[in-house]
Amino acid sequence: MGRALFIIDVQNDFTEGGALGVEGGAAAAERISAFLAAHPGYYDEVFASRDWHDGDNDNGGHFATDGEPDFVTTWPVHCVGGTHGAEYHPALNTEPITVPVLKGQGVPAYSIFEGTTGDGRTVADMLDFLGVIDIDVVGIATDYCVRASALDALEHGRHVRVFTDLVAGVAEPSSEAALAELGYAGAEIVESTSLG
């Protein structure tokens, strides 16, 4: 049975200086790259999601175009497909990525499971096709898209680990709450150094 890494939304707009920059985002990108370099061949597949929003509409109400964002369901314009903000952060080594996933194309999307591959397949279908049972989750942001992606992986019957040293969150209290929720739901909450 296969093992996969989920790299969630390590994009310019979600790191320092971006439209929704998360403190520690760039450092997380660097650590993820170093982790992959230290464990070549450990993963059968490396999935990497990116928000890839439309630039000519509010993406189903996801963008706050008529007022101030509430940072719960409405957000500033971010990760518009084809722009610098939507690209992977330069510190992330993209060579190991085998399954790129785009999400939020015209609609709100948080979990990687809401995205599709280049040929239009869902992440759930890809996991079944590839025989992936074990999933490790890293990326941005702990309290939003990492949380949603890990919860969905659990709901799809996978064994899930979240590496606390390879994520970055919007806020410490909500990130701690998200990790606690994931642990309660059945995920292992560990540091990547547990692999040795």
Letter for the amino acid at 169?
G
Q: Which of 9, 136, 143, 152 is catalytic?
A: 9
Is 103 known to be catalytic?
Answer: yes
Element holding 182 (H helix, E strand): helix 172-185
Quote the CA–CA distance of 144 and 173 in Å, as a whole number: 12
State the Rg of the chain over Cα. Answer: 16
Q: Which of 51, 79, 143, 145 is catalytic?
A: 145
Check: CB of residue 57 under 8 Å from CB of residue 64: no
Q: Which of 13, 51, 79, 103 is catalytic?
A: 103
Is 145 known to be catalytic?
Answer: yes
How would you classify residue 34: left for phi > 0, otherwise alpha for psi between -120 and 50, otherwise beta? Answer: alpha
Is 136 known to be catalytic?
Answer: no
Task: Kindly list the catalytic residues.
Answer: 9, 103, 145
